[in-house]
Structure 1
């Protein structure tokens, strides 16, 4: 079994703690079937793949992908980039990723974590630049969708000036961003899906996690209507309370 990246440095007051959905991502990417598929998609003679995780949280998924790139891609020269609306998550991801790469790619690490950007979804990404996009979204159906954080919300000085009760409310708000998905749990995921055709490269592929309430079969049909491919490649295989989790792979068939 491949080691899970260390997240002991992460404060989970405002950051999503790795859970079943995170580990499903790790297992799926490292599975023999996906490793074979990705190795064929990104052969060694091709340019280094750029792997972007949107909504990195602790960075455990992105760090695992970078550190275990030889197992996943059959090559070690992977470039990674992360985005998250929570500045604390971006800081945590940088440390998680760089530490995991150093630990697993000795004596000469080749994967590189470029940066973690405080941003909404794919906003800072250049069109056609992403080779592999990873997204573990806020997928729980909720009555309301939390507002996006402002620059002031992400300012460390703001948190330092808060009373204990205000800090509790602020921490709870940031945690709500990690799970609250609005109507059908799909409001944030729908925005991400809309961005996929624009940000993926010609050889690009996206992996998106969905729960049963997100109606994954309908999501796949919608993507196929673009003329793209969409298949379930990972599943929790059990009921986790009310949620059964799947990971959908999204890609263009012809990328020549």
Structure 2
């Protein structure tokens, strides 16, 4: 099991504390099936993939991916970054990533930094190779049930992919069907699950990708 980044420096009165949802993403990304997928998708002979975490919070997820680049992707040629609306979260992410890098001196990728922003508005279309998003996933009248992350051209690169955490109440099976209905080679599948009720939330991780 790959070690989880240290977040003891984070003030949880200002930043979301890592919980079951964050750890499910880490477990999913480091599973044998997903590391095999990532290593086949982004071999060392390809250009360095760009990994963006949207809503980085404490930085535990992007810190994990960056620190364990070699273990997850099979090589260190990886670029990572994060974005969050919360400036405190961005600063916490920088510290988390740096600490995690220090613990894996021979295996980490290149962290480009974090910025304060709304979703991926500051990123040019088709620039992100792997997008990771743990959204506010409890449905409310103000929060739509379907993901909006791919509208307005904010999709990953042609051969890129996204990991999206979802709640059973968000009807992930509907998301899978909607993605498939988009055509153009888009696919989605559940690649990680809590397998049990975490409190009252049953969580899963969707991988969304496009076949060439």
So what's the TM-score if we normalise by structure 1?
0.79
User: How many Å separate the matches in 2 of 1:67 and 1:136?
Assistant: 19
**Structure 2 equivalent of residue 190 of structure 1:** 147
CA contact (8 A) 1:126 1:199 kept: no
Q: Secondary structure at the match of 1:224?
A: helix
Segments of 4+ moved more than 6 angstroms: none
Q: Deviations over 1:65-101 (max 9, x none)?
A: 0111111111112111100000000000011112211
**Structure 1 equivalent of residue 164 of structure 2:** 208
User: How many Å separate the matches in 1 of 2:64 and 2:191?
Assistant: 18
Q: Secondary structure at the match of 2:103?
A: helix
**Structure 1 equivalent of residue 179 of structure 2:** 223
Shift of 1:126: 1.1
**Structure 2 equivalent of residue 237 of structure 1:** 195
Q: How do residues 103-118 of structure 1 correspond to structure 2 at under 5 angstroms?
A: 103-106=103-106, 111-118=109-116
User: Which structure is higher in helix share?
Assistant: 1
Q: Deviations over 1:174-222 (max 9, x none)?
A: xxxxxxxx35xx3xx6222425x63311211000000011010001111
Q: How do residues 34-53 of structure 1 correspond to structure 2 at under 5 angstroms?
A: 34-53=34-53
User: How many Å separate the matches in 2 of 1:17 and 1:2?
Assistant: 20
User: How many Å separate the matches in 2 of 1:67 and 1:27?
Assistant: 15
CA contact (8 A) 1:125 1:199 kept: no
1:142 is aligned, of 140, 143, 146, to 140
**Structure 2 equivalent of residue 153 of structure 1:** none
Q: Secondary structure at the match of 1:16?
A: coil
Structure 2 gap ranges (5+): none
CA contact (8 A) 2:120 2:154 kept: no
**Structure 1 equivalent of residue 205 of structure 2:** 247
User: How many Å separate the matches in 1 of 2:45 and 2:202?
Assistant: 38
Which moved further from structure 2: 239-248 or 217-226? Answer: 239-248
Structure 1 gap ranges (5+): 145-181
**Structure 1 equivalent of residue 13 of structure 2:** 13
CA contact (8 A) 2:149 2:155 kept: no
**Structure 2 equivalent of residue 4 of structure 1:** 4
Q: Secondary structure at the match of 1:234?
A: strand
Larger Rg: 1
Over the residues paired in the alignment, what is the CA RMSD in angstroms? Answer: 1.4
User: How many Å separate the matches in 1 of 2:13 and 2:140?
Assistant: 21
CA contact (8 A) 1:49 1:78 kept: yes
User: How many Å separate the matches in 2 of 1:224 and 1:83?
Assistant: 28
